[in-house]
Chains A and B, each alone.
Chain A
Amino acid sequence: MEFHQWLPECPAFSMRLKQLDGATPDQKIADLKFLSQQRLDFVKTNALATKIGTMMSSLGAEHVAQCGPAVKIALVSSHTVSHLAGGISVGALRRGFIAELFFGQYGLYRNELLQPDPNLKTFAPNVIVIANDVHDVNFDLSLDSTHRDVRLAIDAKISELARLWRQARLHFNATIIQQTLLNTHYNVFGSYESVLPGAPCSVIELFNARLREVAAEERTLLFDFDLQAALKGYEQTIDRVRWHQAKQLVSPALSPWYGDLLARVIAAAYGLSKKAVVLDLDNTLWGGVVGDDGIEGIVLGQGSAAGESYIDFQRYLQGLSSRGIILAVCSKNDAAIAEDVFKSHPDMLLRRENIASFVANWDSKATNVRRIALELNIGLDSVVFVDDNPAEREIIRRELPMVSVPELPDDVAHYAACLSAAGYFEAASFSKEDVERADLYRANSRRQQEFSETTDMEGFLKSLDMRLEVGRVSKMNIGRVTQLTNKTNQFNLRTVKYTEAEVDRLMRDKEALALQFRLKDKFGDNGIIAVILARPNERWPADTLFIDTWLMSCRVLGRGVEAASLEALSQYACELGLKRLIGEYRPTARNKMVSDHYQKLGFRRFVRGVDADSSSTFWLMDLPPANTLTHHIEVDITNDEQRDLHPANERIPRSISR
């Protein structure tokens, strides 16, 4: 089966793999990442995975950290899975993290999770993937079963699974990922199969449909392997020989494909999915060169197959935009001519206001992509660069290796399919925040404009009519809060990354304060822009609140949010009867901007004997605070947060997950 067509081929793979041994540590990391971004079959993938393993154990922690967070993944199953290790570790590196793997024993997943297995306990997984199959779930239903019979049988199996998830969460404090059942049943009726609820294929289809619902309710992440296999075609993805030979549900030959699919889901849970698409214009969004052919000469819209294909691609991009992916333009063009197509071409589907950052000039694309990332305030590693020109793609890959560059097919009819198959934008939740993101970035650019015109800062801040809504973290925003702890690298005092299960635990902890902050102003809602997680800690007296996490989105810098947040935090802490706050600044390569955060807020620095040699600084403030700091934000402390689309959970609507 063909897979990973969006990745470029690597003719000199074996040579490059060998050259790794003599390279410097920095070069090793760069090369391993580069190789993980190539199209590799399973033999090469396994060879690369072996190298990743040996190099990660020999390189220092600071180098390993450049490959992203280390995630301990336990794959427990009802079939053989250990041969998937290579595919998963290469997929992980490609998707921005390091996978440490634990494989359960063949068929023993229930015991391992329930007892629980001491080896698994020692491993202490961050993520547990449950992979079972139709042989394991094994329905005993007659062909003439009614819908009700089938529903009851399915519900019984699924409640059993749900109990398993809850137990596993309790024992391991890990994020649970459930795989859908690969529908390996043979068709016994043909098209009539789906009419009969009791026919084997139907039962599994109905089971998977119900599993998707219950997983969302239980906040278990879903790895919809059956959907992915169906998209590729069961004939290609189901290998009967390997099942009979070794009870392998997934053929070793497909392990790179499987590993990448699983890695995407985990990456999404860790907030590592891509955030923005940077688009070329000529021969990418329309056919022809607008500078030469003129607005009436470009190929776009009805009347030709190519023109329709460009519309199809634009429609796909619009779909991405409406689920919160930022669109930007990077084109070698005259800016006025390029923008005019967006404003005046009758068939143009994407509008100028869909584009958060529009850069059309004659500078190099690497320079421009850097500029766009800065303007949007996102990391280059969150950017996907889409360009029909292979030379431009090569330049970006060389100059900005952290940017994802799909190998766009020659035919525009396949552009959307290529981008979709590449899986850059996998989601682990979907909320109102995401829907509103496009508005948010537009409002931000208007704010930016007004700000650049102002000379009176105080007056400007007052005129914004800002309101900070503060509340405890709840089921309704836990997804966003977790995402922020994983994504925020600059304004983050200690840079502690959390899984959803860990935030959930803090949320329920009576002694802890898990607070989220939403900023609104006259231009609109900025969404949840700051998080504080704090708890008394055995290192200090019981009446002291230690600030474990204080992070803020950089897009609201310079607006006094820090002072307003401190006001709210103090109020919460005083209500709990606490007498002082302690904060720590733990420096990383990227959070220098907050080195004097506590000092600015009026905390006193103190030196801890134990940590005298650590690079951290510690800061103290007595409660209630002696003086309040001036800011122009109305602070509104609420107890419930009711803004998400799905009040009981952050279920991903089906229309969007597909």
Chain B
Amino acid sequence: MTSKEIYIQLTNVFREVFQDDGLVITPATTAEDVAGWDSAAHINLMLAIEARLGIVFNTSEIDEMRTVGDLAEAIERKMN
């Protein structure tokens, strides 16, 4: 999966989890930029990405993700 395809998929998951059809994400997006992205929502987001993309994050990876860019890179590593 290319980086672009990952962002398309990620955008869909973000929109579904945060229930906002207009949500736009970039590599620099952080939790502060998205309404409702608190620690509980973060867990929901990780689980939704795992379910939709068919991957599993390690416990240590979850702690390290600070930006959407980190997230996309972790996904790319797992998928390729």
Cα-based distance from A42 to B45 in the complex (angstroms): 11
A17 nearest in chain B by CB position: B19
Q: Which of A14, A47, A242 contacts B43 (CB 8 A)?
A: A242
Beyond A83-B40, A245-B59, A246-B39, list 5 extra A-B contacts (CB 8 Å). A42-B47, A42-B48, A43-B17, A46-B17, A241-B59
What chain B residues lie within 8 Å of A47 (beta carbons)?
A: 16, 19
Report B36-70 CB contacts with A as 1/0, cut-off 8 Å: 00011001100110010000000100100000000
Cα-based distance from A44 to B19 in the complex (angstroms): 10
Most chain-A Cβ atoms within 10 A of its Cβ — which of B17, B39, B47? Answer: B47
| A83–B51 touching, CB < 8 Å | no
Count the A residues whose beta carbon is within 8 Å of the partner chain — how many? 20
Within 8 A of B (CB), among A236-293: 241-242, 244-246, 248, 251-253
Q: List 8 A-B contacts (CB under 8 A).
A: A14-B16, A42-B47, A43-B16, A82-B40, A242-B43, A246-B43, A248-B43, A253-B51
| Residue A41 CB within 8 A of the other chain | yes
What chain B residues lie within 8 Å of A83 (beta carbons)?
A: 40, 43-44
| Residue A142 CB within 8 A of the other chain | no
Interface of B is mostly: helix
Q: Which of B16, B17, B59 contacts A244 (CB 8 A)?
A: B59
Q: 7 shortest A-B CB distances, which residue pairs? A: A253-B47, A43-B48, A252-B44, A43-B16, A241-B59, A83-B40, A47-B19
Count the B residues whose beta carbon is within 8 Å of the partner chain — how many? 13
Assuming the contacts A83-B40, A245-B59, A245-B62, asked whether A50 and B19 have C-beta atoms less than 8 A apart, the reply is yes
Closest CB in chain B relative to A17 CB, distance in Å = 9
What chain A residues lie within 8 Å of B51 (beta carbons)?
A: 41, 43, 253
Assuming the contacts A43-B17, A47-B19, asked whether A246 and B47 have C-beta atoms less than 8 A apart, the reply is no
What chain B residues lie within 8 Å of A246 (beta carbons)?
A: 39-40, 43
Cα-based distance from A193 to B46 in the complex (angstroms): 35
B52 nearest in chain A by CB position: A43
Cα-based distance from A246 to B63 in the complex (angstroms): 12
Cα-based distance from A42 to B19 in the complex (angstroms): 13
Report A496-512 CB contacts with B as 1/0, cut-off 8 Å: 00000000000000000
What chain B residues lie within 8 Å of A42 (beta carbons)?
A: 44, 47-48
Cα-based distance from A242 to B48 in the complex (angstroms): 13
B40 nearest in chain A by CB position: A83
